[in-house]
Structure 1
Amino acid sequence: MSMEWNKVFGAVLLAGLIAMLAGFASKVLVHSKPLEKSVYVVATPEGAAPAADKGAAPAGPAPIAPLLAAASPETGQKVAKACAACHSFDKGGANKVGPNLYGIVGGPKGHIQGFSYSDALVKTGGSWTYDDLNKFLYDPKGYAPGTKMTFAGLKKDEDRAAVIAYLRSLADSPQPLPQ
Structure 2
Amino acid sequence: MEKAMVVLGTHDLSRVEKTVKYIDKIFKHPSYKSDTRENNIMLLKLGGKDNWHFKGQPIQLPTSEKIINDKCSVAGWGFTESNKHTVNDLRVVDVCIINQDVCKKESSGLPANVICADKGLCKGDLGGPLVCNGTAVGVASFYKNEVCDGPNVYTDISKSLTWINKVLKK
Q: TM-score, normalising length from structure 1?
A: 0.24
- Structure showing the higher helix proportion among its residues: 1
Where is the strand percentage greater, Structure 1 or Structure 2? 2
Higher RCO structure, 1 or 2 (CA under 8 Å, sep 6+): 1
